[in-house]
Amino acid sequence: MCDYSLHTNPNRLATEGEQLVVYRFPTHSIGLASPDDVRERASARKDRKRSLWTIILDWLNDQQAGMGVCAVCIPPGAILVLRDIPEQLRDELSVASEEMVTFTQLTASAYAYRDAVRFSNGEELLLQRLEPGQRVKVVSLSGMESLEPLIADYESERS
């Protein structure tokens, strides 16, 4: 649901239809977050001078406030639309700039990145390889229902 590296952050379960963004947390791990949380954090720091002292204060505040941005956890089998796929990954994985993917976990090992997405062509990609700022839409959390209606909705959105 959420990589081990994000368990020190406040976290919650995603909701169907929710728009998310790929985010690099203060732990340097990549995960998913609400765009509103990310914007709020960025605007709180935007106008501040970045001296060594403000960097230390920001770090201390992050520790006290639970890192600030809430990690949004996705259950294995959930269906997502991954947008803004970088050209280098598109070429490497033979995918388009926007793809419907299935959320998966590659291993059950402790202390290893495991959260990944599986493309329709079978390629799998760790979340850690995604670019901060990429957009993600949660289509279905269950992953158990028939994909035909989901694919039809996805195709109509793309048109």
Q: Is residue 54 part of a domain?
A: no
Contacts of 146 (CB under 8 A, 6+ apart): none
* DSSP secondary structure of 79-141: EEEE----HHHHHHHT--SSEEEEEEES---TTS--EEEEETTS-EEEGGGSPTT-EEEEEES
What does the pLDDT read at residue 118?
97
Q: Is residue 138 part of a domain?
A: yes
Q: Is residue 116 part of a domain?
A: yes
Q: At 157, is the secondary structure helix, strand, or coil? A: helix
Q: Is residue 53 part of a domain?
A: no
Contacts of 34 (CB under 8 A, 6+ apart): 18, 20, 21, 69, 70, 72
Q: Is residue 8 part of a domain?
A: yes
Q: Is residue 22 part of a domain?
A: yes
* Tens digit of each residue's pLDDT (9 = 90 or more) over 75-113: 999 999 999 999 999 999 999 999 999 999 998 887 889
Q: Is residue 89 part of a domain?
A: yes
Q: How many domains does the chain have?
A: 1
* Tens digit of each residue's pLDDT (9 = 90 or more) over 107-152: 888 788 999 999 999 999 999 999 999 999 999 998 655 556 666 6
What does the pLDDT read at residue 63?
54
Q: Which long-range contacts (CB under 8 A, 24 or more apart) does 82-88 make?
A: 82/117, 82/130, 82/134, 82/136, 83/134, 83/135, 83/136, 83/137, 84/131, 84/133, 84/134, 84/135, 85/134, 86/131, 86/134
Q: Is residue 41 part of a domain?
A: no
Whole-prediction pTM value? 0.76
